[in-house]
Structure 1
C-alpha cells in the first residue's frame, strides 16, 4: 500500500475514532447529568409532598383539638337519652371550623360506647368496617389514626382520653379527590409520571392515576428491602422510582416514571450527535486526501531522485519551494548529493597521496625489537670492557623499551608499573646526578591491584621537568601507594617550584597534555568518579593524587614477567 493511501486511511480512522468517541462520551455525559438532575427533581417533589402532608396534618390536629374541646366539654348538657346538647353558637362554630377545610367531607362524634351522637352531615357510615381496620390501634390514647377503606374513603380517628378515662372519639371523613389534590398538589414534573400515597398496609390512599396491582407490588417490594431510589422493568419497559416515608402518618410516598419520559429529548440529542459525527467524518475524509496528497507528492519526487542517485547519477537535484520539514529534507538531500560529489573527488586525490605517504613511512620505519636487540648487544660489549655503570643504564633503558612495546594489556599490576617507573627514575638520576632524589613506598596489599599501563611516567616526568629541573638545587620525588577508604590511592609528591591555581585550572581544562591524558584514561576505564586531584602552591611543591577502584581482575602477561 502506498504512503498516500496509508496516510489517508490513518487520518480517516483517527478522525472517526476521535469524533465517535467524543460523540459517545458527550451523549452519555449529557444523558447522565440530565437524568440525574431529573431524578433529584423527583426526590425534591416527594419532599414537597411530605411537607404538604405534615403541614395539613398539623392543621387537622388543631381542628380536632377545637372540636374535642367543643364536643367533650365537661359542662356540656346531656339529654335523657345520654346525648350531649349543643347550642346554636356551638353548632355555628363547629360548622365554621369544618368549612375551613374543603377536604373534610363529614365529621362524626362518638361517645364512650362508640355510638354516633353528632355528625356534621347526615350520611351512612359503617363503623364496624372502620373499627375492623383499626385493630390494636383502636385503644391508642389521643393519637391520630388514618384509615382507608376499599371504596377509597379516607378517615382520621382520634380517641379522646381525659385523666385516663375514655370520653369518646372524633372521626373525620375526607373527600378523596380534594384530599389528593391538597396533598399531591399537581407536583408531577414529567409526562406520564405516577405519584401516589399508600398507608402502612400498602393500600393506596390517593394517586394521580390508576396503578396496576402487579406494578405497585414490585415498587413496594423493592422499597421494603431498603431501596428508596431504584430502577425496575415491567412489561418490557424500564421505570425509575423513588419513595419516602412520612413519620407522622406512617404513609409511604412514591413517584414513578418511565425512563424514556425522564428526558424525552434524548432521542433528538442522539440524532444530533450522529449527524455531527457523520459530517465530521465526511470533512475528515476530504481533508485527509488533500493533506496526504500535499505531503506525498514531494516525497514521491524525492524518492525518484534517490533511485537515480542509487544508480550512480549524482547530478539530479529536486526543486521545491516548501518551507516545512519536507522542504528542509529536500534541501538536505540536494546538499548531500553535492557533498558526495565533492568527497568522491577529494577521496580520489587523497588515496594517491596516502599510498605515497605509506611507502615513505615504510621506508623510514625502524623495528623496536631491532633497537632492543641492539641495546642488548651494546650491554654485552660494555660488560666485556668492564663498564658496569654504563651497562646498568643500558639494561634499564632496554627494560623501559621492552615494557613500553610489550603486550597489548591496558591494565597491569601496580608492581609492574612501579618497576618501570623505578628504572625511569634511575635513568633520570644518571642524567641529573645529585640534583635528583626519589623515594618509593608501596603497601604490600597494593601490588596485585591493576592500574592503567604507563600511569606514573607522565606524572613523574612532569614533576622532574617542571618542578625540579628549573631549580639549581634540584629536588626529591616521592611515590606512595596505600589503600584508603576502599580506593587505591597513589600519590606523586615533589618539592619543586610548584604552580599557581591558574596553572592547575589549565591542566584540568585540557591544556596540560600529559596529566590530562592520564585523567582521561582513568575516567574512560573506571568512570567519572575516579581520576586525578592536584594540590600545589607556588614555591611549595606539588602533590598529585591518583584515585582508582579496588578491582580484582586477572591480567595475562604475554611479553614480560613479574619478577
Structure 2
C-alpha cells in the first residue's frame, strides 16, 4: 500500500486528522441534507403568510370595485333611467326628467369623488351614459370596440366579467404616464326577464395594485389571470406586465422552479371572489441563505476548534515520535553504507535503549570490517609477493627483451611480438607499485594474453574493441577482465577459435558516473539451468577468492565477482546473459574512478 511509504509520525498525524475531519465533514453534509426540507418548508410557510397579507390588500381593492359596481346595480334611479326605451330616453326633455337626471349625476359624482384611482362607466342600451371622469378624456362609447358586450349579455345577473389588463384610456397624459395600464371588470344590468339593460365597467389603475405588491421588496409578487397573463407585479426585471408566465412549466417540484437559470421558491394563492391569483417568487438562495449561513458559521467554528486541537496534537505527536524519526533517518544512512556514524539517541524509554544498542552493535561491526579488510589486504599482498618471489623480475625482463630483439633482427616479427606480449604480461603480473590501472592498459593486457593463448592452442580468437572515448582512462583493478577472457576461451570456445567483443562506456546512475563494461563471446553458451546455477553461486558465495595455483586460469568468474564486490561494495553490479549456441555476455557496472595515469 502507498501509505507504507510514510513515516510513523506522518501516519499518526494523518490518522488523527481523519478521525476529526471525517466526522466533521459528514456531520456538516448530513445536517445540510436533513435540514434542507425543513428549511424549504419554513421558507414556503413564510412566503405563504406574506402572500396572504398581500391577498387581503388586493382583495380589498377588488371588493371596492365590486362594491362600487353593486351601488350602481342596486341604485333605483339608475335602473329607472336605463329601463327607459330609447325613444323615451331620447324624448326626456321635460324639466322634471332633466332635473332628475342632473340630480342623479350629481349624487353619483359625490359618491365616487373619493375614488380617484378608479374609473366608473355606466352604459345603457337606451343611450344612458355616466362616467366619473370627463368625456373629453375618454368617450365611453369607444368601449363598444374594446369590450365584447355580446359576451357580457351571456352572464347571469350580478355576475362579473374579469376583463383584466387594458391600456389606460382615462385621464390626461400625466395620469397615463403614472399608470399606463388599468385592471377592468364589467357587470351587466338586467331586467326581471333577464334582458340586458346596460353595463357597469369599473377600472382601477394598475399602479394602485402594484403599490400593494411592492410592500414586500424581498419577494417578486405577481397578480395573474386564469390564463397566466401578468396583470400586475412588484418587480419587472425579466417578466413584463401583459406577458404570459405559466410557472408550472418551470416547476421542478411542488414549491420550486427554475427560470432564467435561477432557482426560486414559489407560492400561489387565489384572490378571494375572483378568477385572479397571486404568485410569489422568492430566490432560493435568499430564502435558505440564512440557515445555510448558520450551518457554514457552525462548520467554520468547529473547523477552527479542531484545527487548533490538531495543531496541539501534531506538536505532541512530533515530540513523542521525534526520537523514532531520528532513529529511522540514522538507520537509513547506515543502510546506505555509512557505518562510521552513530545515532547518539539516549534515554530511559525504549527508543533510547534501542539507539544505544545499535551504536554498540555498529562499533563491533566496524571493528570486524577493519579486521577483515586488513586480513584481505595482507592476503592479496602475500599472494603477489609469492608470485614475484618465484623469479627475479629484472633478470626476466632483460632476458625476454634481449630474446625479442634477437628474433626481431632476424626478421621473425611474429615470434618477436609473442615475446613482447609475454614480457608485458609478466611485467603487469609482478608489478607491486599500483593495483589500479587504466581500462586501456587492462585491455592491452588482454590483447597480449589472447596473442599468447592463440599461439599456445593454435587457434584464432579475435578481439573486437568498442571503447567509447573517455571511458578508456577510467581506473580499474589489475587483471579484472583477464579471468573472464580466460573463461571464455577455455569454456566458451573449448580452446578453439571464436570472437570476443569488449564494449565500454560511462553512464549516470543516481547522479553518479558509472563505468559499464560488456564482454561478449560467440561460444557455446550455457543452458538456462547452468546459467541459473552460476548466478545462484555468485549470490550465495561467502568465502574468499580461491588462491591462484595455476597461473591465470586459476581465477574464475566467481573470484572476479567476489574481488570486485570486496573493492566496490554494493555499488558494483554484475549481470550474466547466455544462450546455447549463441554465446555469453557479462556486464560489469563499476563506480567511475579517474586518476592521472603515468
Say which structure, 1 or 2, has more relative contact order (CA 8 Å, 6+ apart). Answer: 1
- With normalisation by structure 2, the TM-score equals 0.43
- With normalisation by structure 1, the TM-score equals 0.45
